[in-house]
Amino acid sequence: MALYVFFWFVTHFFGVPNVYHTVKSSMPITASFAYTDVPRRVRGSTDGPIYFCRAIAYAPFLVRGDYGWQSGPLSGEGGSSLYLWFCGYTLRIRELA
């Protein structure tokens, strides 16, 4: 049991940031737009292009990445994926609905 918890904490402290950067780099966020990172619950309105990106350790070596972006009224995308993380390597294993 202690080994399981240890690997979960390792995944949380090292895997979550690694998957976060992987997910964020795959999004079409460019320097040509001034994208604003927003939390899940936005208070008030935010003008302009926005995005969010989160990663959560579900279990040892299993990380969920949630993402979304919007650059206009009809331009945007979002979703969730499960990633297998091990010692700096990430592999997307499933797209969640």
Sheet holding 75-86, edge to edge: 36-37, 50-59, 62-72, 75-86, 89-96
Q: Please give the Cα distance from 6 to 10 (Å, whole number).
A: 6
Q: How high is the pLDDT of residue 32?
A: 66
Q: Would you say 84 and 90 are in contact if contact means Cβ atoms under 8 Å apart?
A: yes
Q: Would you say 10 and 60 are in contact if contact means Cβ atoms under 8 Å apart?
A: yes
- The tens place of each residue's pLDDT in the chain, 97 residues long, gives 899 999 999 999 999 999 988 888 888 777 766 777 776 555 666 666 878 888 999 999 999 999 888 877 777 888 899 999 998 899 999 888 6
- What is the residue extent of each domain of the chain? 2-31+49-96
